Amino acid sequence: MSQSTDPFAPFQVADDEFKSLVFGGIAVEHYLPAVQEGLQRTRARVEAIKSNSAAPDFQNTIVALERANEDLELVAGVYFLLFGAHGTPELHALSDQISPLLAELESDLSLDPVLFVRIEAVHSQRAGLGLDPESLRLLEKTWLGFTRNGALLPEEKKARLRAIDQELSTISPQFSKNVLKATNAWELHLTDESDLAGLPESALAAMAHEASKRGKEGWVATLHAPSMIPFMTYSARRPLREQMWRAYNSRALGGELDNRPLIRSIVALRQERAKLLGYPTHSHYVLEERMARNPAEVLGFLDRMLAASHQAAERDVAQVREFALKQDDLQELRPWDFAYYSEQLKKHLFDFDEEVLRAYFPLERVLEGMFQVAARLYQLDFEERKEISTWHEDVRVFKVSRAGALVGLFYVDLFPRDTKQGGAWMTGLREQGLWRGAPTRPHAGIVCNFTPSSSERPSLLRLDEVRTLFHEFGHALHGLLSECTYQSMAGTSVYWDFVELPSQIMENWTTEHAALALFAGHYLTGEPVPAELTEKVRALRTFQAGYTCLRQLNLGLLDMAWHGKEQNLHEDLEAFELRELERTRVLAPVPGTATSTAFSHIFAGGYSSGYYSYKWAEVLDADAFEAFLEEGLFNPATAERFRANILSRGNSAHPMDLYVAFRGRQPDPEALLRRDGLIS
C-alpha cells in the first residue's frame, strides 16, 4: 500500500527521541478510514491468536491480545482527545459512526468463544506459569474482563449484550454534545455599566474580551467556568445572578437538546446489561472492580460522611443567611445568592479578598512553581519543546526528565474555547509500557479552562484554579512516572476510587508556605505573597467545609440513586431528584432546574457508580499527606516511598496493598474529617 493511500499516513509519529504524534497533517476526513483500517488490523491479529496451532500460553495469547489493537488505539485516542479538547461540529458528528464501530469490536472480542477458550486455558494453569506479579495480574484482569463482559453467556444473551453496547456507544457521546451545545448557546450580554456592580477588574477584562471576540460592544459573560464562577461570586446584581444560575442549572433540560430521554435510555440499558451479566444493578457490576466492593459499602461510606458534614453544612448556610440579612436585608437566601454572600462573609470574617490573592498567581509563574514542586519531590526536570506538534496553538509541550533519563512528554492545554468541553481533565496520548514491540515512555496531557491573558494583564488564577492545575498535574505525574511492563496496567489504569489519590494529594501543596514560596509572586512586582495572606488562606481551608463536603455527597448520592437500584423511568426527572436529594438539601429547590441533565461525569464519562470516589480518595489523600506533614513537606524519603509504591506501580497490584506499602498501614478514615475541621 502506498503512502498516499494508507489510511494511517496522517497519523504518523515524528522521527524524534519521543516518537511524538504529528497533529498537523490530521483532518476530519482522515479519522473514519483510519479507524476502519485499525479495526481490520486488530481483527487480523486476533484471528492469528485464535488460529495459532501452538498450545495457548501467556505470550502467544495474553500478551498478543494486549498488543493487538495498538494501531487502533492510536487513532481512537487522538479522536477522543480532540472530541473533548478541540471538537468541531464535524468532528463531533463522526462519533455516531466511530463509537459503534469500537463498541462492536469490543463486543466481538469479549464474546468470542474461541478466544476465550485460549484465555481460559492459560488462566487455569496460572499457578504453575512462574509469572511475575504484574504479568499474573494482567492474566487475571484479562480473564475477568471476558467473564464480566459476557464470555460465559448463551448466544441469545450475547446478541442482546451486543445490541445494548452498540446503543450505549452512541447515546453517551450525544449526551456530551448536548451539554456542550447548551453551554455555548447561552450568553449574558451587558451594555449598561450599572450591571457590572461588584465585578472585579479581572472579570470585567475577560468579559470585555469575550464581547470583542463575538463582535459586540460592552461585556459578555458565559456559562463556561472561568466566566460563570467570578460572575456568581462577585456580581452585586441579584437578578443577573439568578439568570445565570437558572441557565446553568437547566442546561439540556428541555428543548431540542433535552437530555432527559437520553438519561432514561442510558439508565435502562445499563440496568438491563447488569442483569444479563448476573448482577442486581449497574452499581453491583461496576463496584465489583473497585476498592469499595459493593453499593452497601459505598452508601455506608457516604452516610458516614453525611453524618459528619450535614450539621456543619446547615451551620454554614445559616451563617451566610444571617450575614445576607444583616448586610442587605435579604429575606430569603436562594442558590444564586450563596456564592456571592459567602464571598462577602469571607471578606468580613477574614479580611480576605480572593482578587488580592489572585494577583499573586500569574499562570506562568504558577506553572513554573508547579514544576519546581515536582522537581523537589521527584527530581523531575521540565523543558519546553516548541518544535513538537500539537492539536491547537494554545497547547504547550514539555520534555520531562529524571537524572538525565527521559520520563515522557507533558502536554498543557489551559484555555477555554467554543470547541472545548468544560471542566478539567488529564489525557493520555500514549501510555507507558510495551508499544510496537519495545518499552516506551508515556505522553500525558492536562486540559483545563482558565481565563486567558489579555492585552492588559496576564492570566491570573483563582486559588481554586491553582488547585485544579495541581490536581490534574497529579494525574499526569501518575501517568508519567509509571514503571510497568504492559500499557493496560500502567499509569492511571487503576481502580477509579484509587485514581484520584495522586491528583488530590497534589492540591495540598497549594496552601503550604514552603510550596507557595516557589510560585506565588505578584504579577507586577514579583513580590512574594505576604505571610499574613497565606495564613489567611490556611485559615480558610475549613471555611464552609461542611457545605463543600455536602455538595460532593449530593452528587455521589445522585449517582448511586440512578445506578444502585431499579428506577421507575417514567417518573419526572425533577421529581426524582427532589426525592433522592432531600437528605443533602440545605437550600430550597428551584423548579425548572436539574443536575442530572448536565451530569456528564456519570452519563458521558466513566464515573457511573463512581462519583463517590472523589470523597473516597480524599480520605486516602488526607491520610497520605499527613505522612508528608509528619516527615517533611519535601522529605525525599517520603516522596520516594510515594513514587515507588503509588505513582510507579499502576495497576500492578491491588491498590490497598500499594497504599499499605507506602503508609505502613491502612488509611485512617478520620483523616479527612480532621483536615476539614469536622472533628477535632
Question: Which one is catalytic: 73, 134, 472, 577?
Answer: 472
Distance between CA 505 and CA 376 in Å, rounded?
15
Q: Is 384 a catalytic residue?
A: no
C-alpha cell at 353: 479578598
C-alpha cell at 301: 461510606
- Look at residue 187 and give its three-state secondary structure: strand
- Look at residue 457 and give its three-state secondary structure: coil
Within a 13 Å sphere around the CA of 347, how many CA atoms are in the beta-carbon half?
A: 13
Distance between CA 301 and CA 284 in Å, rounded?
16
DSSP 435: E
C-alpha cell at 644: 515507588
Q: Which residues pair with 439 in a beta bridge?
A: 434
DSSP 12: -
> Do 183 and 224 form a contact (C-beta atoms < 8 A)?
yes
591: exposed, middle or buried (Cβ count in 10 Å: 0-12, 13-18, 19+): exposed
211: left (phi > 0), else alpha (psi -120 to 50), else beta? Answer: alpha
Neighbours of 429 (CB within 10 A): 19
> Do 62 and 122 form a contact (C-beta atoms < 8 A)?
yes
C-alpha cell at 460: 491570573
Greatest distance between any 2 Cα atoms in the chain: 83
Query: What is the end-to-end Cα distance of the chain in Å, rounded?
Result: 70
> Do 276 and 160 form a contact (C-beta atoms < 8 A)?
yes
C-alpha cell at 654: 491491588
Distance between CA 320 and CA 343 in Å, rounded?
9
Q: Which residues are catalytic?
A: 472
